[in-house]
Amino acid sequence: MEINWHGFVCHSHSCGQLMSHDPVNHPKHYTSSDIETIDVIQNGLTTEMFKGYCLGQIYKYISRAEMKGNALQDYQKAEWYLKKLIKVIE
């Protein structure tokens, strides 16, 4: 079975093999195994704790976006966490 996530190709027996780099949706350093780090974090926290985690990440990326040289990428990361938060609330 093969799944393609916007340029990432995952073969069911080798999900750690990334074909391209997407620093916002699937950073390489968080996708080196069969499960993404965000999923491990979410599974280890209560819903309320995870909502707080997402809010903290949103704040972090927005508050320092203009200082790092790639503001758009940080705003996109904040958006990613906002969408994740909305899914949890729905």
The SS3 call for residue 4 is strand
Angle of CA points 26, 30, 32, to nearest 5°? 100
Distance CA 43, CA 52 (A): 14
**pTM, to two decimals:** 0.66
Q: Per-residue confidence at 31, pLDDT binned at 50, 70, 90?
A: low
Distance CA 14, CA 34 (A): 8
Give the H/E segment covering residue 80: helix 71-89
Chain segment 38-79, per-residue pLDDT in tens: 999 999 999 999 999 999 999 999 999 999 889 999 999 999
What per-residue confidence (pLDDT) applies to 35? 82
Chain segment 13-29, per-residue pLDDT in tens: 334 444 456 777 766 65
What per-residue confidence (pLDDT) applies to 55? 98
